[in-house]
Amino acid sequence: MSTTTILTAPRTSGQHEPLFADLAPYTSFPHQIHGSTAWSADTLRANPELWTHIWQPAEIQAIDSAATAFLAAGWELTEITKERFPLPPALTSLLETTRQELLHGRGLILFKGLPVTQWDRRKCAAAYMGLGSYLGHFVSQNGRGHVLGHVKDLGEDSTQIDKVRIYRTNARQYFHADDSDLVGLLCLARALEGGESDVVSAHTVFNVLQRERPDVVETLCQPTWYFDRKGEVSPGQAEWIRASVFYWWGGRLYSKWDPYYVRSLTRFSSTGLIPPLTPAQLTALDVLENTCRRLSLHMVLDVGDLQVVSNTHVFHARTEYTDHAPPAPRRHLLRLWLATPESEGGWALPFHDSGEAKRGGIRVEGVEENAPLEAE
């Protein structure tokens, strides 16, 4: 059994420009998206059983036992797989049903009641990553190779958006999608105030904008948006990518968006390296955010809650927050970014790494994947 993790060089950086030559023009997009992916927040508020699962005692015992056995075997956290984290058939079936719902349905699940206050940090991480291995493949979330992320205020300046990742601050996070197929958040500690979660169906947002502001949708469908890479690049790579916000690809509407990464590029646009945001794009920024807020489902993550969201067709956001005064613990969530490749039933995506098992993420050449137990 291994006590260290040796990983081969990644085959994808995860931050790619789309396959421009194959992109469908806005005129080819459907007028409306139908089906379970285009859900209403009102419906979910009225029917929490559709997207919430409370862990039962037998399920918690099975997760606890799997985590204990995995840690006793001496493997590194980055070496967790379904085979090394065996669960009983009923729980395996639940996680597979959840995975299908995340990929092809509402794209949202909230598991409640993991006993994280009874476990030490390493066991929390093992239980969380073990469950995650049934949903997808871990991918790096930053240039340091972290496959286990820590959403926690580290005192960084949230106004320095060209350098700072907002999850490392207590600032508001606007509606966005992360650079992975799925994102999971496990709550270890809540804030004193704020830090609440909002999610919205990107397909519902698209439908409403098609009715109310088709001009905005057309702007969002153009591959003329530039996204910052905030220095998390390998040698020879550009500091930005050019992309769209909405894509019609493989018979599905796919979205990729984060306004912080769009607004932070003035250091390049001011010198003429890339175009500045146009008036139409500035309008689209505001209209998209306001529409997401109007249509969103709001929730509070309690300690032990595990939220998983699809980044392909759901946007998520977070309110600004204030932490408890020391010595009380600060708000702290463990984060996973998970890849769900085409070969395992995931979406076909308009990027050249779509067929890779560990597609997406943020990978820098020479940096090995690791799973730190503390925010760093």
> Domains of the chain: which residue ranges?
20-344
Residue with the bigger pLDDT between 36 and 154: it is: 36
Lowest average pLDDT, out of 4-8, 25-29, 194-198, 351-355, goes to 4-8
Domain spanning 20-344: which CATH class is it, in words?
Answer: alpha beta
Peptide bond connecting 235 to the previous residue in cis, omega within 30 degrees of 0: no
Separation of alpha carbons 189 and 186, rounded Å: 9
Helix 279-295 to helix 202-212 angle, to the nearest 10 degrees? Answer: 120
Q: For residues 56-70, give the mean pLDDT.
A: 98
pLDDT at 165: 74
- The DSSP-derived string for 310-370 is ETTTEEEEE--EEPPPTTSPPPEEEEEEEE--GGGTPPP-SSTTTT-TT-SS---TTPPPB
Cα separation, 319 vs 200, in Å, equals 14
Is 7 a residue whose pLDDT tops 70? no
Closest CA to 244 of 14, 17, 15: 17
Segment 216-236 shows an average pLDDT of: 95
Q: How far is CA 37 from the centre of its chain?
A: 17
Taking 70 as the threshold, does the pLDDT of residue 10 lie above it? no
Give dist(CA 11, CA 248) in Å, integer: 25
Whole-number pLDDT of residue 11:
52
29: helix, strand or coil:
coil
Average pLDDT, the chain: 93
**Percent of the chain at pLDDT exceeding 70:** 95
pLDDT, residue 15, reads 83
Q: Report in angstroms the alpha-carbon separations of 128 from 12, 78, 114, 307, 348.
A: 25, 12, 9, 11, 27
**Residue of 132 and 153 predicted with greater confidence:** 132
Distance CA 331, CA 165 (A): 16
Does the pTM of the predicted model rise above 0.75? yes
Closest to 198 (Cα-Cα) out of 124, 111, 110, 284: 110
Q: What pLDDT is attached to residue 333? A: 96
pLDDT for residue 215 is more than 70: yes
Does residue 213 register a pLDDT over 90? yes
81-133: pLDDT as tens digits:
999 999 999 999 999 999 999 999 999 999 999 999 999 999 999 999 999 99
Does 48 have pLDDT greater than 90? yes
First and final C-alpha spacing in the chain = 28
In 228-239, which positions are buried (b, 16+ CB within 10 angstroms) versus exposed (e)?
A: bbbebbeeeeeb
E strand or H helix at 57: helix 57-72
pLDDT at 9 over 70: no
Q: Binning pLDDT at 50, 70 and 90, where does residue 12 land?
A: low
Pairwise CA distance, residues 200 & 277, whole Å? 25
Distances (CA, A) of 363 to 315, 318, 359: 22, 25, 10
Higher pLDDT: 167 or 270? It is 270
The answer for residues whose C-beta is within 8 angstroms of residue 311's C-beta and 6 or more apart is: 177, 178, 179, 180, 181, 182, 183, 256
Is 163 a residue whose pLDDT tops 70? no
At 203, is the secondary structure helix, strand, or coil? helix
How far are the Cα atoms of 107, 191, 198, 302 from residue 307, in angstroms, in the given order? Answer: 11, 17, 11, 10
